[in-house]
Amino acid sequence: MPDNNYDIAILGGGCAALNFAMTFTKSNIEKKIVILEQREYYQHDRNWSFWFKNDDKNFEHKDIIKKIWPYWQFSDESNLVRHQGIYYSYATIAAEAFYKKAEMMIAKDPRISLCMNSTIDNLTIDETTLQYRINVGENIFTARNIIDTRNMNYGSIKNHASFYQIFLGYEIETDEDFFDPQCVDLMKDMICTQDGLSFLYILPFSSRSALVEYTIFTSIFKSPNEFEKKLHAFMNTHYKDHGYKILHTEQAVLPMGEVSFKKETRSNFFHAGGHSGALRESSGYGFLNIYNWSQQAVHALKENKKTPRANQSNNFMNFLDRHFIKTLKLYPHESTIIFKKKKKNMRADNFARFMNGDIKFLDILRVIMAVPKGPFLRALWR
């Protein structure tokens, strides 16, 4: 085999690609993989949070969990709802630790090549051999199978979705103790604005450091930078007296609700990750879905079976998520009530299970019972 010929080429080297690669290193599958990533090097660009099942002994990234919180809470101007899970906690993995772990594991595995600084310019298929030809600058890679994990840019998200989660966040450090390191603010100061439902998302890593994000669920596409003033105003009101410095910025526009994804019909081309349905339509959470997908995908490869779908939700969950977003779109002024009731009326563990997509029939009934019926049912007929 010439050097640039692989069994599998993974386009993009982010969360899905690296989760797949790390799982692959634990297998004895005799295949050659190349990961083509456009970035020159990895740097801390996000924190992945999810609900962690306290007794989960098999989770492969326990070693890099940055922080686990037993409590999470939601608030608006008049109410505060606090959850404490018995079986679930809220957890965060920092991207810097994840990328470092992935690079170390890949470096030890001669079957995987991670090529940084490799922007994919063009992809073609030879119809006789069914080999893909991937152009990366002057270099050409060939592969029998493709896993495309390249993320959508903002322009493409704008065109393919009609509802968005937009956020801008700062990781900060204060001079004095200020944060409660036991409790996450999932939705603080929820408020219906002209643009949509806005709130603050605060992950206190210690009593002196936190990620503070201004977030909005909206039908109006905007760049996260447009919320800089609002975030600064919040920070200055709450943290200025405690002397804070910004350590790192993270931002995103994530699609919510139904997204039209590219479908590839060839059996040797797979889409994976956020651009292909791995993000929950009602929340944008995707890390656990992607992790679970990577475990199943490597297992399928070993067993010579079909690669699983990136979207890990069942049809009913997809319907619920889509309907929930439709309700928010149709009745934006009722969104704080919808969220408040949903959180207030659900037990912490049921809520965590629902958010993780690890849902049982009874949980589905609980979600339906928890939201205000008026807008939710009215939206069914619109």
d(CA 142, CA 130): 10
- Tell me the residue number closest to ligand FAD, measured at CB: 14
CA dihedral 321, 327, 330, 331 (to 10 degrees): -140
Residue 51 engages ligand FAD in binding (rule: CB under 6 A): no
Q: Which amino acid is at 305?
A: K
CB of 45 to ligand FAD, least distance (A): 6
Rounded distance between C-alpha atoms, residue 157 and residue 319, angstroms: 21
- Based on CB atoms, which residue is closest to ligand FAD, 17 or 33? 17
Go through 141-168 and write b for each residue having 16 or more CB atoms within 10 A of its CB, e for each that does not. Answer: bbbbbbbbbbebeeeebeeebbbbbbbb
- Give the range of 8-16, 262-270, 339-347, 364-372 binding ligand FAD by CB under 6 A: 8-16
* Residue list 119-138, contact with ligand FAD (CB under 6 A): 119-120
Smallest gap, in angstroms, from Cβ of residue 36 to ligand FAD? 5
- Enter the tokens of residue 11: 């386009």
50 binds ligand FAD (CB under 6 A): yes
Q: Are strands 88-94 and 33-36 parallel, antiparallel or unpaired?
A: unpaired
Residues present in the chain in total: 382
Amino acid at 271: H
Q: Which residue, 355 or 375, has its beta carbon nearer to ligand FAD?
A: 355
CA pseudo-torsion sign 20, 102, 110, 118: positive
Q: Is 15 in the site for ligand FAD (CB under 6 A)?
A: yes
Size of site (CB under 6 A) for ligand FAD: 32
Which of 46, 111, 271, 341 binds ligand FAD (CB under 6 A)? It is: 46
Q: Least distance to ligand FAD from the beta carbon of 141, Å?
A: 11
* Nearest approach, Cβ of residue 335 and ligand FAD (Å): 21
Which of 10, 22, 157, 279 is the binder for ligand FAD (CB under 6 A)? 279
For ligand FAD, the closer of residues 119 and 225 by Cβ is 119
CA distance 132 to 125: 4
Would strands 244-256 and 71-76 be described as parallel, antiparallel, or unpaired? unpaired
Nearest distance in Å: CB 352, ligand FAD: 13
Cα separation values, 91 from 66, 80, 288, 295, 312, Å:
8, 21, 11, 20, 20
Residue 149 binding ligand FAD, by CB under 6 A: yes
> Of these, 32, 39, 44, 144, which contacts ligand FAD (CB under 6 A)?
39
Task: Map residues 338-357 to x or -, x wherever contact with ligand FAD holds by CB under 6 A.
Answer: --------------------
Which residues are near ligand FAD by CB under 6 A? 12-17, 36-39, 46-50, 118-120, 149-151, 250, 252, 273-275, 279, 284-287, 290
